[in-house]
Amino acid sequence: MASHIVGYPRMGPKRELKFALESFWDKKSSAEDLKKVAADLRSSIWKQMSGAGIKYIPSNTFSYYDQVLDTTSMLGAVPPRYNWTGGEIGYDTYFSMARGNASVPAMEMTKWFDTNYHFIVPELGPDVKFSYASHKAVDEFKEAKALGVDTVPVLIGPVSYLLLSKPAKGVERTFSLLSLLPKIIPIYKEVISELKAAGASWIQFDEPTLVLDLDSQQLQAFTAAYADLESTLSGLNVLIETYFADLTPEAYKTLIGLKGVTAYGLDLVRGTQTTDLVKKDFPKGKYLFAGVVDGRNIWANDLASSLSTLQALEAVVGKDKLVVSTSCSLLHTAVDLVNETKLDDEIKSWLAFAAQKVVEVNALAKALAGQKDEAFFSSNAAAQASRKSSPRVTNAAVQKAADALKGSDHRRATNVSARLDAQQKKLNLPILPTTTIGSFPQTVELRRVRREFKANKISEDDYVKAIKEEIKKVVNLQEELDIDVLVHGEPEASILQRNDMVEYFGEQLSGFAFTVNGWVQSYGSRCVKPPIIYGDVSRPKAMTVFWSSTAQSMTKRPMKGMLTGPVTILNWSFVRNDQPRFETCYQIALAIKDEVEDLEKAGINVIQIDEAALREGLPLRKSEHAFYLKWAVHSFRITNCGVKDTTQIHTHMCYSNFNDIIHSIIDMDADVITIENSRSDEKLLSVFREGVKYGAGIGPGVYDIHSPRIPSTEEIADRINKMLAVLETNILWVNPDCGLKTRKYEEVKPALNNMVAAAKQLRTKLASAK
C-alpha cells in the first residue's frame, strides 16, 4: 500500500530559511549563501520522507515566499511597475513583487483560503504577455533525482491560479480572469514537457479552488483546461489535489470527469462528506489519495479510526488504487516534535508535528498492506485514551460560565453614535486622529535582555526595568511624532520571544500549552508559534494591566490597552478537536472580558481588542457563513459588553477580503476599527462607494508595513483624500495597515512622521474650507 505527502514545511526545524532570507535581504549574505541553505533544507526533507518509506514524495513545494508567487514567476506574469525585461526571473524581481522596493509597492498579500498562511495575489489583465520565466519546478525535480529521490513535482493548477488572481489596476473589475486560460496553458505544456523529459512519472496539480462554491462556468474551466492538457500529459500519471473542505456534488462530478487524470487527492479530515461521494461513485481504475492525516493541526492521528475509514474506502476503489495521504500540505503544522524538550510527557504524547505525521501516514499504509505495527498502534490508542480522560482538559466552572452565555446577544446598552460623543468629550481628539496598531520594532537591546533573562543572567527586576525603559522610548517617540492615541509597543511580548500577542496571551491563560520550536510559516520569512489549546480556557490573573497602566503613567495622551480578541486567539492557535470551535471561543471571550474590565478599572480609556483573524476563519462554503459569523461576532461583543460609554473599544483586522462581511463587522459594534487597506489597492473603500453606511470610527490603513518602502507625505495624503471621498470626516482615523514589529526604526520613524504630517496637512485644509 502506497503513501503520499501533499507538501512539507519549508522553513526548517529551527527557522533556518527565515534567517537566511533576512540575512540576504539585509545584504549580510550572498545569493549563493541563500541558495545553499535552501538546497540543504530540500535535501533534508526529501531524504527524511524517503527514509520514512513514503512512495510519493513532493517536489517544488519549497518556496522563498509562496507557491502562488512562484507560479506567477513561472508564467512571467510580472506587473510592469517592476521593470522586468524578460528572461529567467531573478531574486530582485521576485522579492520586489513580494516586498516592494524603494520605488514601487509590493503586490497585494492575502490569506490562503481559511489558514493563517498568506500568498501574493497575481495581477492580471488582457494585455499580460505570459512567458516561461522560471524553471524552478524542473530544476527541483532534477535536484531531487540527483540525490536519488524520485519525486512528484507539484504545480498550482491553471484554473486555481486564475481564480486566485485579481484584475490588475486599470483593468475592469468585470474582466474574466478565466478568459486567460488559453494564454497560460501553453506555458504549462512547456513545463510538463520538460518534466517528462527529465524523467517524471507523476505530476501533481493543486486545484484547491474546487472546494469553493463554483458556478457552472468556473467548473467548465477545469474541464476545458485538462482537456487541452491531455495530450501533453500523456505518459504521465496525473494527480489532482484538493484540500480544506468538502467538494460539492457538482465539483466532485467535474473532478472525476477530467481528461487525462489518474488520481484524485481528497481532504477527508475537513471534507467529511466527500467520503460519501466516493462511496457512491468512484471511477474504476483510478487512484484515490485519501487525506486522512490532518495537515492543519498537531493532534496525533486516531490510527484505529483512520484505518477503519481506509478499509471502507479500499472496498470501493480497490486495494492497489488506494494511497494514504495527508489532508493537505504539512506546511500548516510545526516541523518536528523531537525538538520540543519542555512539553510535559502527557501532552507531548497527544501530539504529532509534520515529521510524526509522515510516520503516521506510512504506518497506516503498512497496516492496510497487512504489516501493522502493533506496538505503534497500541501506543497511539493509549495516548488517545489518556487525552479523553485527563482531568487537566476539563474545568466545570468554565463550562458552566460558557453555558450561561446562552440567551443574550451581549450588546452595549448605548448606540455607537452616542458612545462616540461621550468618548470625544473625554478624549478631546482632533479630527483625523492618528494612532498605530500596537507593536513597535524589536531592538538589539531587547533581544540581548531576552537572552540574558532566559539564561538567568539577569534578575526579574532587571528584566522588568528593561521593559519599562523600552516602553518609555516608544512613548517618547510617539509624543515627538505628535501621534494622538499612543501604544506601548508590546515589548513584554517581544522580550519573552513571543512571536505575537496571541502566544503572549495564551501563555497566561489556563488550558494552553507552548512549544519551543513549533514555528509555522505565515508568509515570506515571517513565522508564528501557535499555542496549543488542549483544555478549557480561563484567566487565572490579570495579563496586561500592569504594563498598560505603566505606559499610561508616562504620558497625558490616551494610551491604548492592547488585547487579542477571542476569535483571533482561536484561529491563530492549534485548537482542541474534541469539542466545537465555538465553545472554545466563548471560553476565551469570557477570559478576555475579565481583562477588559480590569483595564477599565485601572484607568485605561481606550482598549484595542484585535480581531485580525475574524475573516480568516470564515468557512469556505457560503452555506456555513451565517453560523460562523454569528458566534464569532457574538464572542467579540462578549468581551466588551460591560464597559462604560466613555471607554472606547477599538478592533483591528488585516490582510483578508472584508467587503463580503462588512455587515458582520458593523455588527461587532466596536467604536473604532482599524483595517488593512493600502496593500490591497484600497479595495475596502469600494464597499463604501457602493453605499454601505458606517457610523463608527474607522481607520483604513494608509501605508503597508510589510514592505520596507517609506511612503511620502503626499502619497499618504492622497490615500486619506480617497477615504474622505466616501467616509465622514468625523469618523476617519489615520494609521498604518498593521503592527510595526517586523520593521526597523529607520523605516518606522520617517513613515510615521510622514503619516502625521499628512494628517495635519489635511486638518488645515479641512479647517480652511469651513
For residues 317-329, give the mean pLDDT: 97
For residues 600-610, give the mean pLDDT: 97
561 is in an annotated binding site: no
360 is in an annotated binding site: no
Q: Is the pLDDT of residue 380 over 70?
A: yes
Arithmetic mean of pLDDT over the chain: 93
Cell of 369: 498492506
Q: How far apart are CA 593 and CA 530, in angstroms?
A: 22
Q: Is the pLDDT of residue 693 over 90?
A: no
> What is the pLDDT confidence band of residue 495, given thresholds at 50, 70 and 90?
very low
Sequence-ordered alpha helix ranges (H) in 2-121 = 16-25, 31-51, 67-74, 91-99
135 is in an annotated binding site: no
Which CATH number is 2-10+56-389's, of 3.40.190.10, 2.60.120.10, 3.30.70.100, 3.20.20.210? Answer: 3.20.20.210
667 is in an annotated binding site: yes
Q: Is the pLDDT of residue 506 over 90?
A: no
**CA 446 vs CA 440, 454, 496, 518, 708: distances in Å:** 12, 12, 9, 22, 21
Contact 634, 669 (CB under 8 A): no
For residues 137-144, give the mean pLDDT: 98
**CA 14 vs CA 299, 339, 356, 522: distances in Å:** 21, 9, 16, 15
pTM above 0.85, yes or no: yes
Assess whether 650 carries a catalytic annotation. no
For residues 329-337, give the mean pLDDT: 97
- Fold equal for 2-10+56-389 and 439-675: yes
pLDDT at 680: 61
Q: Which residues contact 303 (CB under 8 A, 6 or more apart)?
A: 360, 363, 364, 367, 376, 377, 380, 381
pLDDT at 226: 98
Which tens digits make up the pLDDT trace of 184-222?
999 999 999 999 999 999 999 999 999 999 999 999 999
Total Cβ atoms within 10 A of residue 405 = 16
pLDDT at 443: 80
pLDDT more than 70, % of the chain? 97
> What is the pLDDT confidence band of residue 492, given thresholds at 50, 70 and 90?
confident
Q: CA end-to-end span of the chain, whole Å?
A: 77
Q: Is the pLDDT of residue 682 over 80?
A: no
Q: Cα dihedral angle (272, 274, 277, 282), rounded to 10 degrees?
A: -120
pLDDT at 491: 82
pLDDT at 498: 38
241 is in an annotated binding site: no
H or E stretch at 642: none
For residues 100-112, give the mean pLDDT: 90
738 is in an annotated binding site: yes
| SS3 labels along 248-317 | CHHHHHHHHCCCCCCEEEEECCCCCCHHHHHHHCCCCCCEEEEEEECCCCCECCCHHHHHHHHHHHHHHH
Q: How far apart are CA 724 and CA 763, in angstroms?
A: 12
415 is in an annotated binding site: no
Q: How far apart are CA 579 and CA 535, in angstroms?
A: 10
Cell of 391: 482531568
Which candidate in 4, 634, 650, 706 is catalytic? 706
Lowest mean pLDDT among 288-302, 436-450, 726-740: 436-450
Q: What are the boundaries of each domain within the chain?
A: 2-10+56-389, 439-675
641 is in an annotated binding site: no
Which tens digits make up the pLDDT trace of 42-68?
999 999 999 999 999 999 999 999 999
676 is in an annotated binding site: yes
Q: Which residues contact 219 (CB under 8 A, 6 or more apart)?
A: 250, 251, 254
Lowest mean pLDDT among 185-194, 505-514, 570-579, 714-723: 505-514
H or E stretch at 545: helix 545-552
657 is in an annotated binding site: no
403 is in an annotated binding site: no
84 is in an annotated binding site: no
> What is the pLDDT confidence band of residue 496, given thresholds at 50, 70 and 90?
very low
526 is in an annotated binding site: yes
Q: Which residue reads 474506502 in cell numbers?
A: 313
437 is in an annotated binding site: yes
**CA 715 vs CA 105, 703, 722: distances in Å:** 12, 9, 11
Q: Which fold has domain 439-675?
A: TIM Barrel (3.20.20)
Looking at this protein, which amino acid is placed at residue 482?
D
Q: How far apart are CA 93 and CA 104, in angstroms?
A: 11
